[in-house]
Homo-oligomer: A and B are copies of this chain.
């Protein structure tokens, strides 16, 4: 399925401003000002300057929280987004109960205590982000993530992502669930992308972000096959 651009010229604009470059710009800007966030039981609140808020929006990290402060913006990041900025891009600091979590193991453990399946969901998130896909929550489609080729103002999301793991309380175990997911994602013009996060995970490592290196990610797309569209003689359709 070809990407569905939202307006004429959107593709050219996306081509002129690659996501990777905006992320690099954001990374150096946040690192310079030592941006810092607070960890809560369901997200991370990051305090940034107005220009940084705009950069975060262009890269689609988090959502702006309405506030009256003029020289400061508050951004609500998901755990995956926050850990990506902290661990992969190394451009933000995060504190819990007023104490900065300098050590990545501390932050990892804290987040995992709030979200037990964080290891696999973060692995999937960072896997997609590292390939410069824009990753947002897939809540409204009953999936874990939706991914965009570029900013959602330019293009519709192309894939609905389900993250599966060996141990997890997972989806797609029965045919009716597969039918349901494929039908829904087809209806909203997306393709179902299943990411199998697995590997020989050492239990000692489970509490460390190091376990991420033990994980591998396998990708599969599932879609309906339409005999009419796949015929040799397409002129008759």
Contact = CB atoms under 8 A, between A and B. Distances in A.
Contact of A141 (B141, B143, B173, B180): B180
A173 B141 CA distance: 16
Interface in A159-197: 162, 169-171, 173-174, 176-184, 187
Interface string A116-155: 0000000000000000000000111111100000000000
Contacts of A184: 142, 180, 183-184, 187
* Copies of this chain in its oligomeric complex: 2
A168 to B, nearest CB: 9
**What size tier do the contact residues of chain A reach?**
20 to 34
B183 A141 contact: yes
Contact of A139 (B141, B171, B179): B179
Contact of A171 (B143, B144, B162, B176): B176
A142 B185 CA distance: 12
8 contacts: A138-B176, A139-B179, A142-B177, A142-B179, A142-B181, A171-B176, A180-B180, A183-B184
